[in-house]
Structure 1
Amino acid sequence: MEQLNIEVKKIQNSNLEIRIIHLHTLIGVLDEHSGVEFEKKIQDCLKEQAHFYIINLDPIKLVTRSGMVSIVRVIDYAEEKNVELTFLKPSKNLVHFFEMIGRSYCLSTHETEEDAVQKYVLSKDPRLKSTRKSKTVNVLPQRIETAKAISQNAKSILLIDDDKDILDLLSLTLKKEGYQISTACDGLEAILNLGKENFDLLICDVDMPNLNGFQLIEFCKHKGIKTPVIFLTAKTEEQEELKGFQLGAVDYIKKPYQKQIMLMRIKKVLG
């Protein structure tokens, strides 16, 4: 039985095609099951390749971890298709989570649908001549580069974080860039992974149970493991950042992170 249905309203403004998507749900929760429905149905809508999509989340009062991952997959899919979207009236926990992962630009907490449409239209040149076909062509170089990365010997990265949401989303992001990804939920699990496999890069949180990030890098030094380490952490204090570099980290990225900047810094380390 379906938990979630959608209704699509089409708007044409000059050369701009806009879609407003309304959600209909009885339970008011985007969880694992309804998240899968959400992901599939929204991606089907995105295949029309309108210029702008407004997804009204007002009926959704709670988004679980699985639901958040589904929303991020929708955002990644939209970026692949080179279309823009925004989510109206997100739940409080979704706002907090998107701030943590640097995706809050996709959320509109106060705008109405009319406000969002007007804001988008005003941001574009009314003489815009691009078509859906040209938008598809623009995305081809991105796909070609991804295919090249996959076809070559992909660099391997071990992600270490006790926040499963962060692990899931980082994994999705980096796999799409062609990296081979393994994950660990704390320093002890990371040590087990390091005993079985060689990695090109470790991306590690600092504050974790059992064995924190600083202790992990000290262990690596003691064992002669020379894999470069990037800290990705919510610890923003200057002394923490300094300690990370003193222990030998090649970079120190603070949460919330900006996706493209993080990818550039990873690429700089891996060459």
Structure 2
Amino acid sequence: MTRNIPIPPVSAEDAAFVRGLLIHEDRAVLAFDKPSGLPVQGGRGVSRSLDDLLASFARSNGKRPRLVHRLDTGTSGVIVAAKTHPAAVFLSEAFAGRDVQKTYLALVKGNLPQAEEGVIDAPLAKVEESGRSRMIPARPGRKGAQAARTGWRILARDGAFALMELSPETGRMHQIRVHLMSLGCPILGDALYGEGAASGARLMLHAARLDIPHPEGGRLQLAAPVPEAFRAAAKRAGLHSGLK
């Protein structure tokens, strides 16, 4: 919930669009299936973001929902917003305290590991290159390095291609993307850490499932179906058997 900030007008078309993304709503929580290409927040060159579109859910007093975590613009899938201030505090602490179970799917290409599953435990550090932020693997003890762990499992493989399930234990910027690059198999369509459009029409990373504690008790399991573009890319790579 955002207070004392002017609510930007939302067109009827945009309001219908964001409500079409809604996969869960209750008194405290909103959850959306974000499409690839939709920025989560505004910024330079961004004309429409999910954060802007949350104004569609504003109350009569002007208070509106607040996002409690982030997805990269190219990533599709489950993303959560809080409808009240107490819910926002609760959920933000849950994400920061790692009381959230996240499951991603990724299509990758490269020197695949021989093992079928494992954990990447590699600190990351943020650097600025040509006015753009990116993350790099960092030696432990490097100034600014942050601990980062990602569990991985190969669901299907065909030659240099694989469909992988990822379970990040931490939530660093670009964590999955950098970890898979360092493993030797960057995500298809990743313009920052892989081959970009030469390997995929979009970033082939999908936030498939999210298990979170609910502000009012119990836990909430959320899921977003695999997008058709992702499924089609998996089929072209001979990996569709790994998708449910």
The TM-score range, normalised by the shorter chain, is: under 0.3
More strand per residue: 2
Using structure 1 for the length normalisation, give the TM-score: 0.23
Larger relative contact order (C-alpha < 8 A, sep ≥ 6)? 2
More helix per residue: 1
**Larger Rg over CA atoms:** 1
